[in-house]
A and B are shown apart, each in its own frame.
Chain A
Amino acid sequence: MSWPCPYLGVQEAVISNPIKDMSADERLHLISVSLNKRHRKEKQLKLAGLAAITLAIGFLVVLMTNIFSNGYTALLQSEVRIDINVPKAEILGADGAIDIQKSQAFNWNGLVKKSFRAGFPDVKGMSDRRMLNDLVSENAGYELRQAIEKDPSLIDQSSFWVKTSDDVDMLLKGRIKTTLPEKLRRIKDSQLVWINQLEQKNDLRKVFNTAFFTNADSREPESAGILGAIVGSAMVLMITIIIALPLAVMAAIYLEYFAPPGRLTDFIEVNINNLASVPSIVFGLLGLAIFLGFFNMPRSAPLVGGMVLALMTLPTIIIATRASIRAVPTSIRDAALGVGASRMQAALDHVLPLAAPGILTGTIIGIAQALGETAPLIMIGMVAFIVDVPTSVTDPATALPVQIFIWSDSAERAFYERSSLAIMVLLIFLISMNLLAVFLRKRFEKRW
């Protein structure tokens, strides 16, 4: 050959090659020895993995059992039957219908308490009467009024089931130990006697705690519910999705397809990754300073909560979106560009539909994270005590995790069980969101 060619030429083997020099038996023996070693290592790894998973599941079971055993009793609420004669003259107007103004002026609570005390004629003295009053919910009068205003025919009824106070409720659920010395009990000995009398007359019962699912927060545990928090959370998440999803997807597309490579783009990329690991309370501070402090937006509002959580969720969705865009084979993008699609068309028509399952999964995981977030909402005032279910995104509201936080911080034992039940509700929401993510991913993947 007249010209040098890098591809040609055979080189002589000069060094001794131990593998080539050994016999076949020797070689097989060595391989089988090493194979045993490999099997052993594999087994060890398998066992370690199994142990880790067992431990994790064990902890999960302990956690779930704990929450459930604390919380399931909150599904029931104790009630006491009281014979009440509603004085119609003081409530009904001239036309025989309920006069709201008269009803408002009427002392419903006094009526309930008086009627209740009538069942215990031998109880005399101020302190005894007060202790007797304490067995009935402070909200009993208010709730009676609500019920009668809603259904005026009840006015003729002579006995009503009203809620007991939270202490009686706890006692009936076995959460107050009667073996404790009287000083350490919230239910005193005299009250125990009265409760026994009520039980013997069959005037006590436990019913499903509907108030928990139809009310907002309350000072009285027996009237406190999570509907306000659920609606608040739903509004917050709605705002979060509306703001974060389009922004994050657009940002991801821009960074993947259009951003000119350079220092600025690198800087943005690094910062997005950093933002994903910023503690959530910092986002709360940001919201407090900017949305509330600078823009004077309403305090405690789901609108602001949603905006803060959107900021927090943005990097998560951007990272997930970019990862799923990158997972789409470049051949698809090339194919689109090859027939003359613009870069935007290639991204929107071909890459995004293929990346959609990944984007959705990332979004739902980010949103689920936002659903469980407490700290930033506390910073913008969503930790307030709010007894109304919010009706618009600018109404003051709380969110589920914040509600749990508030209740778990309360002194009453009954709030403790309610916070456990609220945790269960929150977990159900989280699990269903994750299931939705799995379902959507499966569904969209099938189309291709």
Chain B
Amino acid sequence: MTNPTKLSTHDLNVFYDEKQAINNISMAIESNKVTSFIGPSGCGKSTFLRCFNRMNDVIPACRVEGQIMMGDQNINDQKLDPVLLRARVGMVFQKPNPFPKSIFENVAYGPRIHGLVSSKSETADVVEDSLKRSGLWNEVYDRLHDPATGLSGGQQQRLCIARAIAVSPEVLLMDEPCSALDPIATTIIENLINELQERYTIIIVTHSMQQAARVSQNTAYFHLGHLIEYGATKDIFTNPADPQTEAYISGKIG
């Protein structure tokens, strides 16, 4: 069962100055599925992920070459305004990074700057709905105007997810969203990913093989800037085609 392609890359190369971080990767991401990127540290999976919402633009030394198609648009076109792209492709970072403002302001910020809400009550509705979908509402509904930095790490990360989904993006990029969290917070976020999958195409970078197996339908294995293997998660984990993938997922390296 395959869904339509949401995003695809064609001969994508990424350089940091002279050093090549991504070599000729062509792959297609299925819509409304969770795709996980796994691989040892430094293999370029985060760099690759950041290509999908052009976050690499902020790194002066970074150069992205090749095509990334979203629909019939090449989002790697430097003429394209990344702001619009980032409203369609949201991102959750490795370390929870709420704005040092109130919980409410964190979630309301995106809808406000994009002009998606026009009244206070609309904003409040969006904030409530986003917090509910990220499973944080019950914990914070009575202190929405407290500083977000007072939340625990897991709560902060769910707040960041709420902030990302508040503008209803089509794709959600997650860069090791659970690496700074304890197992309980991790479980909560994994459940959340399962629920969010109905509405969003999710790409998640993870160091945990178990997490990839639990949350994703597709898995891609990266090694030293190369895409080694890409396919359905259950195939990759039970019957990897490439010996490198097998060594990694069986715990021999990584």
Contact = CB atoms under 8 A, between A and B. Distances in A.
Contacts of A336: 99, 109
B91 A7 contact: no
6 smallest CB-CB distances across A and B, nearest first, come from: A331-B97, A339-B110, A340-B86, A340-B87, A338-B91, A448-B100
A349 B109 contact: yes
Contact of A333 (B58, B60, B100, B110): B58
B164 A332 contact: no
Contact of A340 (B97, B113, B149, B243): B113
B95 interface: yes
A331 B163 CA distance: 14
Interface residues of B, number: 36
A335 B98 contact: yes
A114 to B, nearest CB: 76
Nearest to A341: B113
Size category, A interface: 20 to 34
Nearest to A5: B253
A337 interface: yes
Contacts of B109: 336, 339, 341, 349
B56 to A, nearest CB: 11
A1 interface: yes
Nearest to B107: A339
B123 interface: no
A335 B83 contact: no
B189 interface: no
Contact of B86 (A2, A3, A8, A338): A338
A331 B53 CA distance: 16
Interface string B89-120: 01111010111100000000110011000000
Contacts of B53: 338
Interface of A: 1-3, 5, 7-8, 261, 329, 331-342, 345, 349-350, 354, 448
Nearest to A354: B100
Contact of B97 (A7, A8, A334, A349): A334
Contact of B93 (A335, A349, A350): A335
Contacts of B164: 338-339
Contacts, number: 78
Contacts of A338: 53, 55, 86, 90-93, 164
Contacts of B110: 339-340
B83 A334 contact: no
B180 to A, nearest CB: 11
Contacts of B82: 337
Given A339-B164, A341-B113, A3 B97 contact: no
Contacts of B86: 337-340
A401 B200 CA distance: 66
B12 interface: no
B93 A8 contact: no
B247 interface: yes
A80 B35 CA distance: 96
Contacts of A354: 100
A331 to B, nearest CB: 4
A312 B161 CA distance: 47
Please indicate which of the listed interface residues A1, A335, A342 has the most CB atoms of chain B within 10 Å of its own CB. Answer: A335
Please indicate which of the listed interface residues B98, B113, B244 has the most CB atoms of chain A within 10 Å of its own CB. Answer: B113
Contacts of B84: 340
27 contacts: A2-B243, A3-B243, A3-B244, A5-B252, A329-B97, A332-B97, A334-B55, A335-B98, A335-B163, A336-B109, A337-B86, A338-B55, A338-B91, A338-B93, A338-B164, A339-B110, A339-B113, A339-B163, A339-B167, A340-B83, A340-B86, A340-B110, A341-B109, A345-B113, A349-B109, A350-B99, A448-B100
Interface string B58-96: 101000000000000000000000111011001111010
Contacts of B93: 331, 334-335, 338
Please indicate which of the listed interface residues A329, A340, A345 has the most CB atoms of chain B within 10 Å of its own CB. Answer: A340
A8 B253 contact: yes
Nearest to B224: A6
Interface string B141-185: 000000101000000000010011011000000000000000000
Given A331-B93, A332-B99, A7 B253 contact: yes
B231 interface: no
B247 A332 contact: no
